[in-house]
Amino acid sequence: MIIAPTMQKDVYKEFHARAYHPDVSEVYANFTSRSGKNSNIEGNENVVFVGLQYFMMSYLQEEWATFFEAPKAVAVAQHKRILSAMLGYPVDVGYLEKLHDLGYLPLRIKALPEGTLVPYQVPPLTVVNTQPGFEWLTNMIETVLSCENWPIQTSATTSVAYLKVFREFAEKTGLPADFVPFQGHDFSFRGMFGKHAAAISGFGHLASGLVGTDTIPAVLFAEKYYGANVDNELVGCSVDATEHSVTCSWLLEGEIAFFRYLMTEQSPKGILSVVSDTWDFWTLVTEYLPQLKDEIMNRDGTLVIRPDSGDPVKILTGYRSIALQDFSCASDACEIADKEGFEAVEIQGTYYDVKTGNPLQPCEVKGLIECLWDIFGGTTTDKGYKLLDEHIGAIYGDAITLKRQREILQRLMDKGFASKVVLGIGSYSYQYVTRDTHGSAVKATSVVKDGERVAIFKDPKTDQGKKSAKGLLKVIRQDGTLRVLDNVSPQEEAEGLLEVVFEDGKLVKTTTLAEIRDRIAQQL
């Protein structure tokens, strides 16, 4: 659906061109993430600023070009028809006709470099009208500016959180650093609010420096708006992989033949990921993989085992267990083990789940990574941790959260394993968020009224968390941290770190995906 740029706003903003004080000629506003009290990241302090260039190119330039290129009567006709119907009276589109006569968007946007990690309460961008008579334009774009920018920044911030944890455990266990960018894989496409949401969120994932993705629109987005080129650089990547429908086509009795067919006929080189829990996952691990060991070890590449159901922490890392051989009653032993923080108990050679009392196979207690080590072995890192052989690997692509990510990597480390595992990041991580996750909002803080600059602000007595800055804003770096000074003079505002990136319809400064990734990496 094509939406005219004049209608990418809340209906009530239609009234604002007439509602501002008649003497106001300029409105100055900012976009700020105000608070992390609802953050999806524990202890989060910064939000990744990214996505503005896309907004300027797609909305401020591409979409508004259709408005200015159309005959004036055509440019405003649909707007007048729809808004008149919604408001119940003939709306006056004279203010839009004046904009059409001007022939460009009289706006100036100043911003920090994209990829900057911005503390809460610090605005990464400001916007102001450059011509009197168009003061309504600054906050008319608030709706779409917010709508298009908070999701991409929130996804990038989530992705950076995943990246930081992967880096942390790689350093602790000696996992090669060049494996880290591939450890978080974007599987969110099918769970997003449409393909556009998948593209912008998926770009947020890629912007962090994680490169694993199955979201093709995110790569197209990076090429169109951020100077990326898959012919010259690694923008995003994936591997040959199966799904349950493919496995099912071979039937249960054909599962070993299926593995052989894929490894020899269809994917004899490189990384091959095979979903492995279509039927009996632990039988596949303990019986089928040993039968296939020679073929796997002789293959020129890595076979990646992919469980897709159950508790990802236990599937990958096993159960914390204790042996209580003096007990004959499993329920009594389970109760004691549970109180001591164990998840499984061994009694006379049999393991039991302490929560359910159900018997467990030894392989379940070990977990996938340890089972793969037992079969295929590997090496030891310089930090003394076991590193799976390069011919075998594991990925878990379902139900991963930031909390589970840390638990998985910590438990592997506790068992003596390097953090060689890939985790899928899905729509729960990237879409179970709102604008309130980081308190992202666009607010006006200064106007020019009757030729005089006036600081304005909101300070609701019922919610101090919504108190805004006031006046012109200056962003500085103090003791290594970004801070904002409000109510500054025009000269002071001009001296801050915010730089002009858009003015009067033109991009003044651009950046690339590679630059954004490098900028983020330097701040971690």
**pLDDT single digits (tens) 373-382:** 999 999 999 9
pLDDT reading at 176 higher than 70: yes
Section 406-414 average pLDDT: 98
State the first-to-last Cα distance of the chain, in angstroms, to the nearest integer: 40
Check residues 398 and 104 and name the one with the higher pLDDT.
104
| CA pair distance 401, 465, nearest whole angstrom | 28
- Tell me the per-residue pLDDT of 232-243, one tens digit each, with 9 for 90 and over: 999 999 999 999
Round the CA-based radius of gyration of the chain to a whole number and report it: 28
Beta carbons of 453 and 442 less than 8 angstroms apart: no
pLDDT reading at 413 higher than 90: yes
Q: Which domains does the chain have, with CATH numbers?
A: 5-150+439-523 (3.20.140.10), 239-306 (no CATH)
Measured in whole angstroms, the distance separating CA 70 from the mean position of its chain's CA atoms is 37
Locate all alpha helices (DSSP H) within 63-193, ordered by sequence.
Answer: 64-69, 72-87, 94-102, 135-140, 142-173
Beta carbons of 285 and 337 less than 8 angstroms apart: no
Section 26-46 average pLDDT: 97
pTM of the model: 0.95
Q: In which band, very low, low, confident or very high, does the pLDDT at 432 lie, cut at 50, 70 and 90?
A: very high
| CA pair distance 209, 29, nearest whole angstrom | 31
- Tell me the per-residue pLDDT of 330-356, one tens digit each, with 9 for 90 and over: 888 888 999 999 999 999 889 999 999
Residue 459 pLDDT: 74
293 exposure class (CB count in 10 Å sphere: 0-12, 13-18, 19+)? middle
Residue 464 pLDDT: 63
446 backbone dihedrals φ, ψ, rounded to 5°: -155, 145
Beta bridge partners of residue 31, listed in sequence order? 125, 442
| CA pair distance 113, 460, nearest whole angstrom | 32
492 backbone dihedrals φ, ψ, rounded to 5°: -65, -40
Beta carbons of 338 and 315 less than 8 angstroms apart: no
Helix (H, G, I), strand (E, B) or coil at 341: coil
501 exposure class (CB count in 10 Å sphere: 0-12, 13-18, 19+)? buried
Residue 457 pLDDT: 84
- Tell me the per-residue pLDDT of 485-513, one tens digit each, with 9 for 90 and over: 999 999 999 999 999 999 999 999 999 99
Q: Which pair of tokens denotes residue 245?
A: 């429908």
